[in-house]
Amino acid sequence: MRLNRLLASAAVLAMTAPLALGGSVQAQSAPAVGAPMQDVVVDEGVLRPLQIAVVPFTGQNGSQISGVISGNLKRSGFFDPLNPASFVETGLTLANAPNFPQWTSIGAQAVLYGGVTPRADGRIDVGFRLYDPYRQCQLVSYQFTATSEQWRRIAHKISDVVYQRLTGEAGFFDSRVLFVSESGTQLNKLSRLTIVDQDGYNPVFLTQGDEVIMSPRFSASNPDEVTYVALGKDYSRIYLYNLSTGRRESLGEFDGQVLAPRFSNDGSKMAFSIIRGGNTDVYVMNLRSRQLSRLTTDPGIDTSPSFSPDGNQIVFTSDRSGSARLYTMRADGSGQRPISRGGGSYTAPAWSPRGDLVAFTKQQGGRFHIGVMKSDGTGERILSSSYFEEGPSWAPNGRYIAFARQSPGGDTRLWTVDLSGRVVSQAGYDGRGSDPAWSGLLDAPPVNLGIGQGADSCPA
């Protein structure tokens, strides 16, 4: 029983709503028509979404691009895209500035528009402009170049630029989620390693379902490299899998069952647990030399290690004190100490990419919770609670968390929550899934950032 409780990040049921928040966004009522745009303060407990007009882009796939952008911004919880039916001005092109009074009259606090232009080589240029209609100035303007098939990625990149310009924080839309998709019945369940865009589109199955898949994780240093555990009839193995080539490589055979692998941020090491001789401990492997080091030796169950972004510390779960708690230690295993202080059982810790917070699953009072605390254990906050939820994974900007949620008698689905706990929603991916891992932002190629079409002309 102890082991079943503690293997929260090894067999984690984590729904990945890679900002695929497809459900309702809970936020305070929007500002009144005529309110000037103000900077979005993302750390306030109460937020009024900024009313933004996302004008349908001109050209091939233009309306689809603006639709993806509008959906991304809406799901973030910080924006309230206006209904295009309310737009007074039509026919905006990149050659023109907006007619500002016509946008302020409908309460638009920002106006985004753009166009798609084909190139002779078959690629497309997608340019866009973002304006503040109250100050009557341009906030940002860029052009992206890509193949015509990559229009969705361009939409995600534009969403990232707009999000960053209006909130001051990095975006997260041009990212993907790795997870375990599930099909079949409880007695004959099929699990496959699956990757999907953060909004739930373009799912790709990476394994065939002939193994039980657990604990998929991205490398922070190489977005094409992932790891996961595969369970067969008589083996458990940790694999490295290259998303570009499809090549997979085992880390080797271990004396015992392996659990919960996770890369260090520089990609040079892998931390995981091994069940051996009735004991479960944390180990670290140097991925170049394949040298294995044991970090914990306590008779309790030590599992679910997660590196701090600087690689100097590891947070993990242990029941050495009698109940599952969170502990930290230096990367060499020294300085082990508990950090969680509340009641209940704490499992599945995940260090924020910002380095300031640790996300966790907590079981208490007959319910499961997704929460965060500072890395010293202070400032614990519960963000989401339900009958069952587990397996937090951070978005690349450290503001949203993907997790798994199950209702009584229902299937496990992917969800997300933001750091305020206001924006809780089911993922855009509509199938059953667990054990999410959110990627970092994807590299610019094959979508290349072109030359800006105009400097930011809005005064500070």
Looking at residue 48, what is its pLDDT? 84
| pLDDT confidence tier of residue 454, bands split at 50, 70 and 90 | very low
- The percent of the chain in helix, strand and coil, each rounded to the nearest 5, is 10, 40, 45
- Are 79 and 159 contacting, i.e. CB atoms less than 8 angstroms apart? no
Q: Is 33 helix (H, G, I), strand (E, B) or coil?
A: coil
Q: Above 90 in pLDDT, residue 1?
A: no
Q: CA nearest 262: which of 254, 252, 253, 272?
A: 272
Rounded Cα distance, 12 and 403, in Å: 9
Looking at residue 428, what is its pLDDT? 80
Can you tell me which residue has the tokens 């271990």?
A: 254
Rounded Cα distance, 361 and 43, in Å: 22
Predicted TM-score (pTM) of the model is: 0.87
Average pLDDT, the chain: 86
422: number of CA atoms within 13 Å, CB side?
A: 18
Share of the chain above pLDDT 70, in %: 87
Residue with the larger pLDDT of the pair 374 and 342: 374
Q: Above 50 in pLDDT, residue 171?
A: yes
What angle in degrees, to the nearest 10, is found between the helix axes of 151-167 and 62-76?
A: 40
Looking at residue 35, what is its pLDDT? 46
CATH code for the part of the protein at 50-167: 3.40.50.10070
Omega before 446 cis (within 30°)? yes
Strand 50-54 and strand 79-81: the pairing is: parallel
* Residue 43, Ramachandran bin (φ over 0: left; ψ between -120 and 50: alpha; else beta): alpha
Strand 257-263 and strand 236-242: the pairing is: unpaired
What does 36-50 look like in DSSP terms, one character per residue? PP----TT-SS-PPE
Looking at residue 187, what is its pLDDT? 73
Q: Above 90 in pLDDT, residue 2?
A: no
Between the two ends of the chain, the Cα-to-Cα distance in Å is 58
What does 336-365 look like in DSSP terms, one character per residue? -EE---SSSEEEEEEE-TTSSEEEEEEEET
In the chain, where the domains are located: 50-167, 175-441
CATH code for the part of the protein at 175-441: 2.120.10.30
Looking at residue 444, what is its pLDDT? 60
| pLDDT confidence tier of residue 379, bands split at 50, 70 and 90 | very high
What does 392-443 look like in DSSP terms, one character per residue? EEE-TTSSEEEEEEE-TTS-EEEEEEETTS--EEE-S--SEEEEEEE--PPP
Looking at residue 65, what is its pLDDT? 97
Sequence-ordered list of residues with C-beta below 8 angstroms from that of 43, at least 6 positions apart, any chain: none
Mean pLDDT along residues 250-257: 92
Instruction: Identify the bridge partners of residue 373 per DSSP, sorted by sequence position.
Output: 358
Mean pLDDT along residues 239-261: 94
**Least confident residue range of 9-18, 58-67, 378-387:** 9-18
According to DSSP, residue 1 is labeled -
Rounded Cα distance, 250 and 253, in Å: 8
Rounded Cα distance, 151 and 30, in Å: 30
Q: Above 50 in pLDDT, residue 223?
A: yes
Residue with the larger pLDDT of the pair 192 and 450: 192
Sequence-ordered list of residues with C-beta below 8 angstroms from that of 137, at least 6 positions apart, any chain: 131, 457, 458, 459
Q: CA nearest 200: which of 214, 181, 184, 225?
A: 181
Share of the chain above pLDDT 90, in %: 72
445: number of CA atoms within 13 Å, CB side?
A: 1
Rounded Cα distance, 85 and 91, in Å: 13
Mean pLDDT along residues 288-314: 95
Rounded Cα distance, 83 and 106, in Å: 10
Tokens describing residue 90: 């039509």
* Residue 63, Ramachandran bin (φ over 0: left; ψ between -120 and 50: alpha; else beta): alpha
Give pLDDT tens digits for 390-449.
999 999 999 999 999 998 888 899 999 999 999 998 888 888 999 999 999 987 644 444
Q: CA nearest 136: which of 90, 168, 104?
A: 104
Looking at residue 67, what is its pLDDT? 97
| pLDDT confidence tier of residue 12, bands split at 50, 70 and 90 | very low
Looking at residue 90, what is its pLDDT? 87
Residue with the larger pLDDT of the pair 401 and 255: 401
Looking at residue 350, what is its pLDDT? 98
Residue with the larger pLDDT of the pair 357 and 423: 357
Looking at residue 300, what is its pLDDT? 86
Residue with the larger pLDDT of the pair 183 and 25: 183
Give pLDDT tens digits for 187-196.
777 899 999 9
